[in-house]
Amino acid sequence: MKRIVAIIAFFGCVLSYAQAPVQSVERNLIQNRTSLENLKQVIVQERAWVPYPSYNDRAGWDRMMGEYKNDVIAKGEKYLNYAWQVVEATDYIEFEKSGDRDIMQVPLNANLSAIASLFAAELAEGKGRFVPMIANGVWHTCEMTSWALSAHLAPYSYAKRSLPVKGDNTLELTQGGISQMFSWIYYFLKDELDKLQPEISKRLKEEIKYRELDSYLEREDFWWMGFAKTQKQNNWNPWCNSNALLCFMLMEDDPERLAQGVWKTVRSVDLYINDIQGDGGIEEGPTYWGHAAGKLYDYLNALYMITGGKVSIFDEKMVRDMGEFIARSYVGDGWSVNFADASAHSGSGLMDLIYRYGDAVGSDLMKGYAAMRSAESPFKPSATIDFSRYLESLMHAEEFKNAKETFVPSNYTWYPETEFHYMSNDNGVFVASRGGYNDESHNHNDIGSFNLYYDNQPMIIDVGVGTYTRQTFSSERYSIWTMQSNYHNVPMINGVPQEHGFNFRAADAKSTPTTFSVDISKAYPEAAAVKKWVRAYKMDKKVLTVADSFTLSEAKEPNQINFMTWGNVDASVPGIVTVEVSGKRMELKYDKNVFSAGVETIDLTDKQLTSVWGDKIYRISLKAKKLQKSGNYRYIITKK
């Protein structure tokens, strides 16, 4: 059996490689509720919107920190003698040489984690004990040429190099996150920093103005803003805009500039809402929900605060549907539906965010889901660079801790624009299948693919993605095996896999609570010589029937039908392949007169994949025994 070794180094960035023509729907949901002139009237000035205690309100912080206070202080104490790490020039350059991102990001992230922990500890204790180290961290970071990551400087700086260039200010995810956290430090600790040396807070304010506020107002060419319309918007938009909005809210003293900044974020976020599918489906998958829908919530929540509740779209169905995607995509026991770059493992770290989102949009489904998952893994706020989320977590911790809602999952979910289809039954069978197109954000070539779960256990799987490298978001993306359709649960037609690109897409998708079908022929290039290929799924109590009906213009090579799995696989009996995972067993039955079966072992060494699947997965391949220009295939998958 062929063996594949996947070795890549992970970093959880959410950069899109999609360069599809933008096909927007002019929803303009926020602009329909406000205008620049209206914002000038309703914006809450002089930080009066801030709902958290002032630094000197010790009783207020005791209430905010609650039972977490001592742990927060103890964590900060670990950094009182922290040695600030230096990101060297060669660390930046390494991304261009080898594609290694971690060599630059690891020391930077260590510094940022130290600052966040020290900052939280000072808010909890309020004695000034952590202020000198916070000042050191702020000063050290302000001395950096750029706050952007090497992997984002390379494509998005003017220089198009991974080494920062002075004056070439690139607005991106980490740079915006630092600006946001430092804005909170300035807001809460300016007076304390001034006791040490006024130059520190002065420098801090100047750097935020230069690195975030001025650049945001002056430039419209960053792709994630949407104004240049160079590519389809993804989660970078609400993520970067939520950081920018909070920086304006905390740092801008000029009412006119504040209004202009808020208005520009409104226009930009509307472009994101216009670009994405209107059915609430997150095409990047549940792993990226927190950076897509979750960041949209962060943005809308901040907008609600700065306008005194007068500008809000939490009552829009689309916003609610985007929120509920995370709950509807949950299978159980820590597993979620995953397509594209999403992971099959579903962490429980965002449950308080999901609860707050659900509360804002009136979704008992989200609130119940969050409460259930939190019971599995108790909620504990943790200070990170995303300090706004941390503050919100603290403020609503008691409410979330006491949540009693019950999670009642839906047996059927259909996203008609994203073309994600979920169906389940009372016998523990859950099937997720999809249509879509092969140029989505974080795209894999997987039109028509499916995942199958028995009693919450994945049986037929989507492998997901390995560790991000330079190759992941380059013209070489589809040379990576995890991106290719021949390692998803779809056919190779005439020996040809699916192709990537905006025009390679599903057609005629049809959905019912127990069936899904889609024509996947247009996902393949001309070399596949396919005129029509309808992939269909039908679920009964214990049986999933997968059927392919096809017409080719030419039969050149035997068709090959692939199924990805893990666990113990046995194909020794013609006509039956058995798979056993954690005591769960399924049988894949096929016509032995039509197909011969093979099993390929794929060795995994990439930590992003081994953390989910272990050191091996398998590709079951049914290879047609004869060439035919038209026909029907059927595969019966039974729960045992």
The DSSP-derived string for 557-610 is S--EEEEEE-SEEE--STTEEEEEETTEEEEEE--TTTEEEEEEEEEE--HHHH
- Which listed CATH number (3.40.50.620, 3.40.50.720, 1.10.8.60, 2.70.98.70) goes with 411-639? 2.70.98.70
User: How far apart (Å, rounded) are the C-alpha atoms in residues 353 and 342?
Assistant: 19
**pLDDT band for position 4 (50/70/90)?**
very low
Instruction: Assess whether pLDDT exceeds 50 at residue 599.
Output: yes
According to the model, what pLDDT value does residue 348 have?
74
According to the model, what pLDDT value does residue 34 have?
98
List the CATH code of the domain at 36-401. Answer: 1.50.10.100
What mean pLDDT is predicted for residues 86-112? Answer: 96
Compare 620 and 402 and report the one with higher pLDDT.
620
Give residue-wise pLDDT tens across range 294-331.
Answer: 999 999 999 999 999 999 999 999 999 999 999 999 99
Domain with CATH 1.50.10.100 in the chain: 36-401
Instruction: Assess whether pLDDT exceeds 80 at residue 20.
Output: no
**pLDDT band for position 381 (50/70/90)?**
very high
Instruction: Assess whether pLDDT exceeds 90 at residue 86.
Output: yes
Instruction: Assess whether pLDDT exceeds 60 at residue 15.
Output: no
Determine the 3-state secondary structure of 462 from DSSP: coil
According to the model, what pLDDT value does residue 532 have?
98
User: How far apart (Å, rounded) are the C-alpha atoms in residues 223 and 236?
Assistant: 9
C-alpha distances out from residue 292 to 63, 175, 273, Å: 31, 18, 11
pTM of the model: 0.93
Instruction: Assess whether pLDDT exceeds 80 at residue 560.
Output: yes
What mean pLDDT is predicted for residues 41-52? Answer: 98
According to the model, what pLDDT value does residue 461 have?
96
According to the model, what pLDDT value does residue 237 have?
98
What mean pLDDT is predicted for residues 22-44? Answer: 93
What mean pLDDT is predicted for residues 170-197? Answer: 98
Give residue-wise pLDDT tens across range 508-546.
Answer: 999 999 999 999 999 999 999 999 999 999 999 889 999
The answer to whether 637 and 586 are in contact (CB under 8 A) is yes
Among 267-271, 337-341, 394-398, 430-434, name the one with the lowest average pLDDT.
Answer: 337-341
The set of residues, in sequence order, having a beta carbon less than 8 Å from that of 185 and lying 6+ positions away, is 115, 119, 134, 138, 204
Instruction: Assess whether pLDDT exceeds 80 at residue 558.
Output: yes
Beta-bridged to residue 519, according to DSSP, are 507, 534
- Output the furthest CA–CA distance in the chain (Å, rounded): 84
Instruction: Assess whether pLDDT exceeds 50 at residue 16.
Output: no
Give residue-wise pLDDT tens across range 389-425.
Answer: 999 999 999 999 999 878 989 999 999 999 999 999 9
Query: Residue 593, class by beta-carbon neighbours within 10 Å (0-12 exposed, 13-18 middle, 19+ buried)?
Result: exposed
According to the model, what pLDDT value does residue 444 have?
94
According to the model, what pLDDT value does residue 22 have?
46
Count the Cβ atoms, other than its own, within 10 Å of residue 511: 21
Return the ∠ at Cα 148 (arms to 171 and 212), rounded to 5°: 35
Domain with CATH 2.70.98.70 in the chain: 411-639
According to the model, what pLDDT value does residue 230 have?
86
Mean per-residue pLDDT over the chain, rounded? 94
Instruction: Assess whether pLDDT exceeds 80 at residue 10.
Output: no
**pLDDT band for position 123 (50/70/90)?**
very high
Instruction: Assess whether pLDDT exceeds 50 at residue 13.
Output: no
